[in-house]
Amino acid sequence: MAETAPRPAILISRVLPEESLRLARSRADVDLHSGDRPLPREELVARLRGRPGLVCLITDTIDEPLLAACPDLRVVSNVAVGFNNIDVAAATRRGVVVTNTPDVLTETTADFTWTLLMATARRLIEADRYVREGKFTQWELMVLLGGDVHGKTLGVLGFGRIGRAVARRALGFNMRVLYHDASPAVGAVEQELRASAADLETLLRESDFVTVHTPLLPETHHLINARTLTLMKKTAYLINASRGPVVEEAALAQALKEGWIAGAGLDVYEHEPKVHPELLGLPNVVLAPHIASASHDTRIQMANLAVENCLAVLEGRTPPTPVNPEVLTRR
């Protein structure tokens, strides 16, 4: 009689969609943290004893000391495309596979970037408030004027999957697209998206909308700061749906208050979930609580992919989307 392989044990650090939990439970013994706050570190360590798999969120910090305290851990599966909450180099040194959830959220995140961009330029949140406060008592020619989007220049910082999906949508608005990325796109992509590579200064000086899509790396930390903000047009808007610390929030608050730029749309914050107190009082910034990938379908796909990644590693297969595939070939 063929022996059945033992079911792997995994910890899921926060509640996932029902479908993803069913998938996990069909192939693993699941310890689910069902609380609505991240597990405190000591509890995370305790619950990872004897469990080689972790499915976690960006609110879980997986650093070297945690990895050192969890010798049974073999895979950390993040339910996100970004993985700056995980010390990947430390995981690689310890032979722990790290996975993320790219692709499945690209289009949804690009949609939301445009939601923020349009809402910011056309002052949608202020307009909504205006109506609710009973101020819409007559049509007026000069009320709630915003910036045009069509025909303007869009500057995309970080021209990966999401940056490109954002640029593709700009074709419909007949915009000129500039992009800046450490590795320039091939000619065919530039032609298809009608996008041109630019150095950072040129992009900032010439764009009417600057949208940030870089990962958070030492090189991108505070990429947008007091100096780079002053390079932008006074009529320009900054949109950030990538990672908060790419923008120096205090400098942005000053720029918005003093009119160095016209406005900003933010989905992410430097010290998330804290928001710089000055931003909260400014009318020319639209604030969202890190929801760019938050559509029903996409969040289910992200969670399913994360579970699949985790189970694949523990079942001895190559996970669909590893971050440090070199660990797999070392085994």
Catalytic hit among 51, 243, 276, 299 = 243
User: Among residues 80 and 286, whose Cβ is nearest to ligand GLV?
Assistant: 80
Q: Least separation, in Å, of the C-beta of 293 and ligand GLV?
A: 5
DSSP 322: B
Catalytic site residue 290? yes
Q: Least separation, in Å, of the C-beta of 105 and ligand GLV?
A: 6
Q: Least separation, in Å, of the C-beta of 303 and ligand GLV?
A: 11
Pair 95, 330: CB distance under 8 Å: yes
Helix, coil or strand: residue 132: helix
Distances (CA, A) of 290 to 109, 115, 118, 322: 10, 13, 17, 24
Taking the C-alpha atoms of residue 126 and residue 266, their distance in angstroms, rounded to an integer, is 15
Please measure the distance between the N-terminal and C-terminal CA atoms of the chain and give it in whole angstroms.
Answer: 29
User: Among residues 162 and 262, whose Cβ is nearest to ligand GLV?
Assistant: 162
Helix, coil or strand: residue 212: strand
Taking the C-alpha atoms of residue 184 and residue 325, their distance in angstroms, rounded to an integer, is 24
Beta strands in 96-173 (DSSP E): 97-99, 153-157
Q: Least separation, in Å, of the C-beta of 81 and ligand GLV?
A: 4
How crowded is the C-beta side of 177, counted as CA atoms within 13 Å?
Answer: 26
Q: Least separation, in Å, of the C-beta of 216 and ligand GLV?
A: 10
Q: Is the dihedral of CA 237, 241, 247, 253 positive or negative?
A: positive
User: Among residues 82 and 147, whose Cβ is nearest to ligand GLV?
Assistant: 82
Catalytic hit among 192, 206, 272, 278 = 272
Q: Collect all residues with Cβ–Cβ distance below 8 Å to 130 and sequence separation of at least 6.
A: 136, 143, 144
Q: Least separation, in Å, of the C-beta of 241 and ligand GLV?
A: 8
User: Among residues 108 and 207, whose Cβ is nearest to ligand GLV?
Assistant: 108
DSSP 39: P
Catalytic site residue 272? yes
Beta strands in 158-213 (DSSP E): 176-180, 195-197, 209-212
User: Among residues 51 and 164, whose Cβ is nearest to ligand GLV?
Assistant: 164
**Site of interaction with ligand GLV (CB under 6 A):** 58, 80-82, 105, 293
User: Among residues 58 and 88, whose Cβ is nearest to ligand GLV?
Assistant: 58
Taking the C-alpha atoms of residue 92 and residue 15, their distance in angstroms, rounded to an integer, is 27
> In which residue are the tokens 């007026």 written?
140
Tokens of residue 160, six digits: 């990966």
List, by residue number, the catalytic residues. 243, 272, 290
